[in-house]
Structure 1
Amino acid sequence: MNGPALHEPPAPASWRIALPHSAAAVPVARALVRTALAEIDHAADSDTAELLTAELVANAVEHTKSDAPIELVVELLPTGCKVEVHDPDPTPPGNLTRPAPDDPDPWQEHGRGLLLIRALSSSCGHHRTESGKAVWFRLPVVPQQRRPVEPT
């Protein structure tokens, strides 16, 4: 007789979708990440993945001048997830991988997105693509919490 099944890490999977170059892209991107992580019961933190994805997509919409679509790529790996947002502007995002010289002004509505990505992801960065750039972050698998044994 076999013992209890061990929790197997999910097999690698990926999703790629073109998003409109508008604010409407943000909720669509969040929903895709939530669905991707839930669909295969992935152990990365869905709330954090949604938040950081929303920041990347909002930055791409706000800081690129082209009307070309933005592309969202979600990769689910046994070690966590990687999310990339591709946009047509090759200009690197400011202060993504290093702290800004000054803290964001707490009274301003903008300026905290890259700080959140740096603080909450296990790693982040950007690279040039044939059509612009991709900005990405990784989140690790969150260990399963031990549940108390129910008395029988």
Structure 2
Amino acid sequence: MLDTWGLPQLVDVAAQVVTELVANAVEHTDAATVGASITRVGKESARIVVTDTSRTRPTPGTPSPDDEHGRGLLLVEALAHAWGSELVRGGKRIWAELRVPAAC
């Protein structure tokens, strides 16, 4: 979809963000279902949304250097222009906005 919208620069970042958000929903909640979508929100930006049926909101961890897990949301925070979560009817929505980096 990103290629179709003329945003090929976001493909790899979007794949990583979706992977991290879906993995977080699967591993850290008791959600019965998890869904994901992507929409274009501007000429050079897209928004990824992951929904699940859990009302537990995600919080970034503080892993030690030796920890093998706990960096997913920190990675999302580093890759996304902005991200957040909100409770919705039936669960929650976690979103991340991606923007094409400015040319140097």
The answer, yes or no, to whether TM exceeds 0.5 is: yes
Match of 1:112 among 42, 55, 71: 71
- Give the number of aligned pairs: 103
Corresponding residue for 2:92?
133
The 3-state SS of whatever aligns with 2:56 is coil
Measured against aligned partners, the alpha-carbon deviations of 1:84-123 in whole angstroms (never above 9, x if no partner) come to 100111111113xxxx5xx422222211001111111110
- Confirm whether residue 54 of structure 1 aligns to residue 13 of structure 2: no
Letter in 2 for 1:75: T
1:143, distance to aligned residue in structure 2 (A):
4.6
**How does the TM-score come out when normalised to structure 1?**
0.61
Q: Gaps spanning 5+ residues in structure 1: where?
A: 1-35, 146-152
Runs of 4+ in 1 over 6 A off after TM superposition: none
Distance (Å, rounded) in 2 between the aligned partners of 1:89 and 1:59: 12
Corresponding residue for 2:39?
75
Residues 7 and 44 of structure 2 are in contact (CA less than 8 Å); yes or no, is this contact kept in structure 1? no
Distance (Å, rounded) in 1 between the aligned partners of 2:34 and 2:26: 8
**How does the TM-score come out when normalised to structure 2?**
0.86
Distance (Å, rounded) in 2 between the aligned partners of 1:38 and 1:143: 18
Q: Gaps spanning 5+ residues in structure 2: where?
A: none
Quick check: which has more Rg, 1 or 2? 1
Match of 2:6 among 32, 41, 44: 41
Residues 122 and 139 of structure 1 are in contact (CA less than 8 Å); yes or no, is this contact kept in structure 2? yes
Distance (Å, rounded) in 2 between the aligned partners of 1:40 and 1:122: 18
Q: Which one has the bigger strand percentage? A: 2
Distance (Å, rounded) in 2 between the aligned partners of 1:43 and 1:80: 11
Letter in 2 for 1:39: T
